[in-house]
């Protein structure tokens, strides 16, 4: 699974050539783990969420929208007006963040990985499988010497971080899987409907109907608007992985995670390592590759 | 997640007018229903009290209990929903940051493997000459002076081994060429520096006519030392062509030395004639001697200084080696 990293030669001047296969595999597994975790958060238990290979081409790269506006297939004015009216009249469907849209994975997903992930039933098993792949890979490579002579107690920090990340995932999964308690939601909605009927009579009792009715009308409207607004805010917030556009932007988070992973092998520290790119690759200078010989001196 | 407030509008009208995603417009529908109930009650239900005794409610406290109970339920639910939202965001960020931490740690440890020993920089710890090269200044601050040798060697090597595709690229201006000639250096070949930042340096230089270095002008000093380096290289070629066999196999141009040190006096010439030079000739000679003595004791990856990195390697895979080293996957 070789990944093309052409853009990093232009983005990071200190980057040379293709990164090591170790780093490629590491970033692929981490990206896969994060994507599977996010997709299990935004979907149900057995809904397959599409995962595709991340396209590293800079020309077509753009961040996903945070409010799901890029999910709309039809972006005409008419469609937006229809969308707004349907939202206004409670006719819209509560959707998740691009459930049908793929999450980008560095290096793509192989057919074997897909098969294994489909065999794992439930979101927890899928994520745990990917987590196991990553931690097994790191451990195996460490034992083979890929992490140099760094001592095992220090290496255990890696495992500690992976474990902490798993705790974070399960915290998010708790929110995604367990809804707001039904009895409370039922009572609050029932109370609001009671108020919706009771408030007009209350206003009728305590406003002067002989002079005019506009004040009572406005007062009724304002009271119910505020109370139902508060209720609707609660409904939007209680499921953070649903309710586009008030959801948590998982696709943006995945894109940010991928970009962060890319930086792991985009170059050495510019003030510390040899700045060797200019005489190894002549591409930026002369438009051609420069070869180095030892005939000098 | 809706990003709002980015558009400059009067009284944040864009926030008010947004329908999709807001709770305000969704609450309009039940509010209208309530208003309809109100209007029906007003027009068709004759309950208007004639006296106090006719009132349906003697006092609003009767509804107060209901209102307070419903308020408590609503606020409790909104509060907990907000808590759920933030807890989810917090958990997501914790998850991603920890996993990214793990990958960063692994990468950092991976670069310490044997596969990268050829391109690792000399450590401060193992090379006291690097560590205490110029007092206790940071390496980044040393870079202006230290990288002179490295850059000059790189440039000299590039000029001598590659044919520039574009002769006008990075070429010195006519004034600078004339300045070089007036300073005693005959330009025998094209000045095509391969470092793009050299051009930037050169254009911002203020080199005096007698080609001396002023204090605190590291860029001009750098350029002058490049000139010196170039002179040495050309003179070396001349000596070779004239049959003068010099025994030095590899020029010792390393970032371990502050100056281009050589047996001839050319290396010191870039500071000659300037009283404000930050280097005195005595310390310069001392440094050279220290370099010579220390140089043989260096660990083998760095003993051949720059030659190991620049001159001894074939091609891309050879110099950087990542294509061959493959980080332990093949078990090398």
- Whether residue B165 sits in one domain with residue B283: yes
Judged on CB neighbours under 10 Å (0-12, 13-18, 19+), B24 is: middle
Tens digits of pLDDT across chain B (332 residues): 888 877 777 777 888 888 888 899 999 999 999 999 999 988 887 655 566 666 667 777 878 888 899 999 999 999 999 999 999 999 999 999 999 999 999 999 988 887 776 666 656 666 555 555 444 444 444 444 444 444 454 455 445 444 333 333 344 555 655 665 555 544 333 333 333 434 433 433 333 233 333 333 445 555 555 555 666 666 666 666 665 444 333 333 333 333 333 444 444 444 444 444 333 334 444 444 444 434 444 333 333 333 333 322 233 333 333 333 333 333 32
Same-domain status, B209 and B97: no
- Alpha-helix residue ranges (DSSP H) falling in chain B: 13-17, 28-44, 61-110, 128-131, 139-161, 174-182, 196-203, 218-241, 281-295, 300-303, 305-306, 315-319, 322-325
The pair of structure tokens assigned to A200 is 């007009």
Q: Do A294 and B313 touch (CB under 8 A)?
A: yes
Which candidate from A66, A164, A197 shows the least CB-CB separation from B37? A197
Q: Please indicate, yes or no, if residue B58 is contained in any of the structural domains.
A: yes
Give the one of B55, B99, B154 whose C-beta lies nearest to A278's C-beta: B154
Provide, as residue numbers in chain A, all residues whose Cβ is less than 8 Å from the Cβ of B158. 279, 282, 285, 290
**What are the distances in angstroms from CA B13 to CA A170, A218, B9, B16, B19?**
40, 22, 6, 5, 12
Last residue of a domain, one of B85, B110, B135: B110
Find the residue in A nearest to B78 (Cα). A234
Q: Return d(Cα B16, Cα B25) in angstroms, integer.
A: 10
Q: Using the structure block, give the residue that is written with the tokens 């367990």.
A: A178
- For residue B66, the chain A residues in CB contact (below 8 A) are 194-195, 198
CA-only gyration radius of chain A, Å: 27
Residues A13-23 have a mean pLDDT of 60
pLDDT at B44: 81
What pLDDT does residue A114 have?
86
CA distances in angstroms from B57 to A191, A195, A203, A251, B40, listed in the order given: 20, 16, 11, 55, 19
Tokens for B96, please give them: 């991603």
**Residue B62 resides in a domain:** yes
**pLDDT tier at A1, thresholds 50, 70, 90:** very low
Do B49 and B101 sit in the same domain of this protein?
A: yes
Answer yes or no: is B272 within a domain. Answer: yes
SS in 3 state form for B44-61?
HCCCCCCCHHHCCCCCCH
Show the domain range for B228: 146-295
Cβ contacts of A171 on chain B, cutoff 8 Å = 87-88, 90-91, 94-95
Helix (H) or strand (E) holding A236: helix A214-238
ipTM of this predicted structure = 0.84
Percent of chain A with pLDDT over 70: 73
Bond before B30 cis per omega within 30 degrees: no
Closest CA to A30 of A211, A263, A271, A229: A263
Residue A52 C-alpha, separation from nearest chain B C-alpha, in angstroms: 19
pLDDT for A156 equals 95
| A297–B105 CB contact, under 8 Å | no
The domain total for chain B is: 2
Q: How confident is the model at residue A226 (pLDDT cuts 50, 70, 90)?
A: very high
> Is residue B99 in a domain?
yes
Chain A nearest CA to B21, separation (Å): 6
Give, rounded to a whole angstrom, the gap between the first and last alpha carbons of chain B: 48
Q: Residue B18 burial by CB count (10 A; 0-12/13-18/19+): exposed, middle or buried? A: middle
pLDDT in tens, A23-47: 889 999 999 999 999 988 887 665 5
Per-residue pLDDT, A68: 73
**Residue A295, pLDDT above cutoff 50:** no
Residues of B in contact with A88 (CB under 8 A): 19, 25-26, 28-29
Query: Residue B313's pLDDT is what?
Result: 29
Same structural domain, B54 and B184: no
Tell me what pLDDT residue A171 has: 95
For residue B161, the chain A residues in CB contact (below 8 A) are 292-293, 295-296
The reply to whether B93 and B233 lie within a common domain is no
**Cβ separation A202–B88 shorter than 8 A:** no
Tell me the three state secondary structure of residue A155. helix
pLDDT score recorded for residue A99: 64
Domain coordinates of chain A in residue numbers?
A: 7-178+243-286, 180-238
pLDDT digits (tens, 9 = 90+) for A100-153: 677 888 888 888 898 888 888 888 999 999 999 999 999 999 999 889 899 999
What is the model's pLDDT at position B159?
52
| Residue at which a domain ends, from B110, B135, B157 | B110
Does residue B281 sit in the same domain as residue B157? yes
In the predicted structure, residue A220 carries a pLDDT above the cut 90: yes
CB contact under 8 A, A21 and B101: no
B31, B158: one domain: no
B104 and B185 housed in the same domain = no
Contact state of B106 with A195 under an 8 Å Cβ cutoff: no
pLDDT of residue B228: 59
Mean pLDDT of chain A: 78
For B102, the closest of A162, A224, A279 (CB atoms) is A162
């Amino acid at each position: 699974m070789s990944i093309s990293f052409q853009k990093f030669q232009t983005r990071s001047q200190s980057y040379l050539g293709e990164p090591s296969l170790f780093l490629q595999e590491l970033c692929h597994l981490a990206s896969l783990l994060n994507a599977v975790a996010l997709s299990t958060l935004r979907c149900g238990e057995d809904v397959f969420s599409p995962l595709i290979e991340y396209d590293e081409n800079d020309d077509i790269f753009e961040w996903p929208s945070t409010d799901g506006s890029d999910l709309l297939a039809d972006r005409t004015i008419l469609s937006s007006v229809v969308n707004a009216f349907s939202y206004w009249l409670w006719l819209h469907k509560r959707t998740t963040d691009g459930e049908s849209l793929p999450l980008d994975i560095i290096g793509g997903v192989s057919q074997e990985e897909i098969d294994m992930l489909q065999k794992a039933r439930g979101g927890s098993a899928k994520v745990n499988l990917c987590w196991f792949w990553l931690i097994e890979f790191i451990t195996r490579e460490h034992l083979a010497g890929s992490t140099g002579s760094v001592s095992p107690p220090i290496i255990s920090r890696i495992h500690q971080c992976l474990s902490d990340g798993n705790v974070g995932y399960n915290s998010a999964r708790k929110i995604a899987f367990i809804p707001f308690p039904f009895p409370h939601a039922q009572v609050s909605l029932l109370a609001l409907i009671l108020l919706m009927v009771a408030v007009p009579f209350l206003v009728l009792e305590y406003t002067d109907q002989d002079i005019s009715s506009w004040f009572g009308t406005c007062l009724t409207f304002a009271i119910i608007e505020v109370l139902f607004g508060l209720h609707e805010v609660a409904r939007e917030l209680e499921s953070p992985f649903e309710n586009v556009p008030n959801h948590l932007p998982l696709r943006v988070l995945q894109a940010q995670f991928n970009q962060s992973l890319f930086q792991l092998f985009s170059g050495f520290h510019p003030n510390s390592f040899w700045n060797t790119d200019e005489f190894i690759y002549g591409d930026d200078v002369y438009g051609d590759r420069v070869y180095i010989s030892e005939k000098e001196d | 997640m809706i990003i709002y407030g980015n558009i400059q509008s009067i009284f944040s009208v864009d926030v008010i007018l947004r329908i999709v995603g807001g709770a305000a417009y969704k609450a309009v529908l039940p509010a209208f229903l309530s208003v309809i109930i109100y209007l029906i009650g007003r027009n068709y239900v004759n309950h208007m009290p004639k006296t106090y005794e006719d009132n349906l409610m003697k006092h609003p406290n009767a509804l107060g209990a209901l209102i307070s109970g419903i308020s408590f339920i609503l606020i409790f639910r909104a509060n907990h929903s907000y808590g759920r939202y933030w807890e989810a965001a917090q958990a997501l960020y914790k998850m991603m940051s920890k996993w990214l931490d793990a990958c960063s740690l692994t990468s950092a440890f991976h670069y310490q493997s044997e596969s990268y020993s050829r391109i690792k920089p000399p450590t401060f710890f193992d090379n006291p000459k690097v560590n205490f090269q110029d007092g206790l200044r940071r390496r980044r601050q040393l870079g202006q002076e230290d990288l002179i040798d490295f850059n000059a060697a790189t440039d000299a090597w590039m000029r001598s081994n590659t044919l520039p595709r574009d002769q006008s690229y990075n070429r010195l201006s006519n004034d600078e060429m004339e300045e070089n000639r007036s300073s005693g250096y005959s330009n025998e070949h094209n000045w095509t520096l391969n470092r793009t930042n050299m051009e930037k340096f050169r254009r911002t230089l203020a080199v005096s006519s007698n080609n001396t270095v002023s204090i605190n002008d590291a860029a001009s000093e750098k350029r002058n030392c490049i000139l010196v380096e170039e002179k040495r290289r050309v003179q070396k070629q001349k000596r070779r062509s004239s049959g003068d066999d010099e025994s030095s196999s590899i020029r010792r141009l390393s970032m371990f030395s502050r100056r281009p040190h050589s047996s001839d006096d050319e290396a010191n010439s870039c500071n000659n004639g300037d009283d404000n030079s930050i280097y005195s000739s005595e310390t310069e000679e001392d440094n050279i001697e220290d370099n010579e003595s220390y140089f043989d004791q260096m660990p083998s990856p760095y003993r051949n200084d720059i030659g190991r990195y620049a001159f001894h390697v074939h091609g891309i895979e050879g110099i950087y080696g990542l294509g061959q080293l493959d980080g332990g996957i093949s078990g090398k």
